[in-house]
Amino acid sequence: MINDFIKKHYLEVSTYTYAGAYRNYFQSLPDDIPTLGRLVCGQVIHPSFFFMPVSKSLEDKYFGELSLFQKHRFLNEDELFVTATAMTAELFRLDESGFVEGKDVTRRLSVTCRQASVLMTAILKAKNIPSRSRAGFVDFGDDGASYIEHWVNEYWNETEQRWVLMDVGGYYEFETRFGYSQFDLPARKFISGANAWLGIREGMLDKNKLTVGESEPGQGFYSYLMMDFHSLMNNEIFYSFLPIHLYNNYAKITEDELHELDDLARLVKNPDGNFNELCEIWNNNEKYCSLSNFGTDLYYKIFAP
């Protein structure tokens, strides 16, 4: 159960989830969540499909022939289309019929799960459904043996009075072979960035079970804690947008800073119960909220004392 203030918060939009001129179009898309989720899945292809063997049956079922993907396009278009409006504009450029079923690879975006999650969040918010993107790790094999870095969605089901966990980043459960839909996942399927951080720090989780890209040991788990925190504050930051104080400098993190991050993770672990405290940090803690990217990082290297 969440209060009206929290519901209102998760109807607010960010730079990334603002619908802009596409608001009415988003509202016209199917209201049934699984139908909408399948439709969003069908507008994108994960770049990994271009770099791993894919069976002809999978190509025929979902994508069409992958070799037909336009040669002038990046195989990973994440950095081109960071916002929901940018993704939607490009989808219309590729196919003026918009979001349609059965779209082949030449008319899809080649983007990762973060982008798919942001697009779904934007559509749900435009439909006046409280929603939020979440960053963490998903058990794709459904056996608890391994979890892969991933972004998912949560939306508030007013009838059932609960957050529903869903994934629009692929097709792994369209056939419900695990006994549930990817548009209503059991909680055990997802380890949030905060739970991953705390689980590893407290020795309750084997970090070798979690697959994450990182340039320095531990940096990847820090990144997912930060991305999840920012997403809960309606700021669904891109993978490379991290707080300035540790940007490309995670190896120098102090023990005190690690304990501060532990405290943040404990709050993020229960975002609804700790909502006021998280907002207080968001509004007042520059350390976690002032971000850097390549351009900002370069500026600080040149001009900062």
- What is the model's pLDDT at position 53? 87
CA-closest candidate to residue 201, choices 132, 287, 269: 269
CA-closest candidate to residue 2, choices 272, 233, 279, 276: 272
Are β-strands 242-243 and 291-292 bridged in parallel, bridged antiparallel, or unpaired? antiparallel
CA-closest candidate to residue 118, choices 233, 231, 31: 231
- What is the model's pLDDT at position 84? 98
Q: What is the dihedral of CA 222, 225, 228, 231, to 10 degrees?
A: -60
Cα–Cα dist 264/194, whole Å: 8
pLDDT per position as a tens digit, 227-237: 999 999 999 99
Buried residues in 194-218 as b, exposed as e (16+ CB within 10 A): bbbbbbbbeeebeeebbebeeeeeb
**DSSP H helical segments within 110-218, as ranges?**
113-126, 193-201
CA-closest candidate to residue 163, choices 197, 140, 129: 129
φ, ψ for residue 154, nearest 5 deg? -130, 135
pLDDT mean values, one per 10 residues, the chain (305 residues): 95 98 98 95 94 86 92 97 98 97 95 98 98 96 92 97 94 71 93 98 95 85 96 96 81 93 98 98 93 65 57
Residue 12 in 3-state DSSP? coil
pLDDT per position as a tens digit, 16-58: 999 999 999 999 999 999 999 999 999 999 999 999 888 888 8
CA-closest candidate to residue 261, choices 240, 246, 283, 241: 246
φ, ψ for residue 257, nearest 5 deg? -65, -35
Residue 10: partners with Cβ closer than 8 Å, 6 or more residues away: 125, 130, 131, 132, 156, 234
- What is the model's pLDDT at position 296? 61
